[in-house]
A and B are shown apart, each in its own frame.
Chain A
């Protein structure tokens, strides 16, 4: 099985800043903290990229609306 982790390099000064903050967080290691932050930032970026995407075609809208009306969810 391939190694599920890869190494990356960050500036030593940034590493020191993160390490200094560790005692004030729930994270045990700098790796855990950086992983958390990168996931959070990436997720925000990905959400922003997708937010204007159209979800339904007009035909799908009609079909779903008919069913929801029959089931009493919309008037």
Chain B
């Protein structure tokens, strides 16, 4: 089994007694409401998806990530995991204080205890230039960072309440996926990250990876997305249909990665690979423009960046764009098909989306069972 990132799988969950005491004494601690994205970060830290980090990053780790794409102990890390607070809250806490993080959702819950180690200001311009390679406000990730509050709190977390999502069934923790792979006898596992329902090109990529790996983990990102993106319900229902009808039993598992998309392209590809390594995957499929948005990154930048991390501990499987070739009679890429563009039929996302929203099956691009599963959700196809 692949080692967790940094050598140890983090698990920071309060025992039942501690949990009860903290809840009973909650009024004695300062509390900080956090949004759904931060709740997800807390869970990912405390259950080890973000191993080896044990809490929100302190200044040394934060600056090392921004400056060198590594934690202060030299372990690769590309996206800061931080808790931002305003002036008033920053002035009210001191290092060694303990504060409770409270979910501000429709069902308030005491999510975690943060042992404050560090309170520091940060330069947002340096942050966005390092992570996103741009300061353009039209970039959704840049906009999110520039809207953050001016102070960061760093320190170790202990989970008090696991806030369940609508898709809890799919949200396996690293210990569970690791056990699952062991139980299934998968020594090598390829992770496939997605934000979309599968067309024939995706299926081809996944099955190509399955020819060299024992198992496949389809691991869609569930969380805040952009308006117009497919809903989480669509992604999960479509993959259930595909796996049921087109995958060999016991070669594939579907679980979710609950996190916010940063759209940081290459740097986010490394972040996504680290999370999948912690889930127990040995390989990570990197397609065209992974985690990109607009034209901020080159189509294969997210593949190139892996060369900078010889000690990442998970092997990228790089795939180019796929299309149908009329001459070959199937899904191919320019690496395996010698025929010219006159035989090439691209997967047109816009056409697929239009047909699905009209209740039609895009037979050239998608398995009928997959399309039918999507069409059933016709009132909930896209994020509004």
Contacts and interface: CB of A to CB of B under 8 A. Distances in A.
Indicate the member of A47, A50, A55, A60 with the most B CB atoms within 10 Å.
A55
Interface string B304-332: 00011011010000000000000000000
Interface in B172-201: 172, 175-176, 178-180, 182-184
A73 B180 contact: yes
Chain A binding surface, main DSSP class: helix
B179 A65 contact: yes
A14 interface: no
Nearest to B68: A4
B155 to A, nearest CB: 19
Contact of A73 (B7, B64, B172, B182): B172
Instruction: Say which size band chain A's interface belongs to.
Output: 20 to 34
A55 B180 contact: no
Contact of B183 (A1, A26, A47, A65): A65
Contacts of A73: 172, 180, 253
Interface string A54-75: 0110001100110110010110
B7 A50 contact: yes
A43 B183 contact: no
Interface residues of B, number: 24
A30 to B, nearest CB: 16
Contacts, number: 50
Interface in A13-51: 26, 36-37, 39-40, 42-43, 46-47, 50-51
Given A50-B7, A55-B1, A40 B311 contact: yes
A37 B308 CA distance: 11
A50 B178 CA distance: 16
Contacts of A40: 310-311
Nearest to A47: B3
Interface in B56-72: 63-64, 67-68
A12 to B, nearest CB: 25
B17 interface: no
Contact of B311 (A4, A39, A61): A39
A60 B3 contact: no
8 tightest A-B CB contacts, nearest first: A40-B310, A43-B311, A39-B311, A64-B179, A50-B3, A39-B310, A64-B176, A71-B169
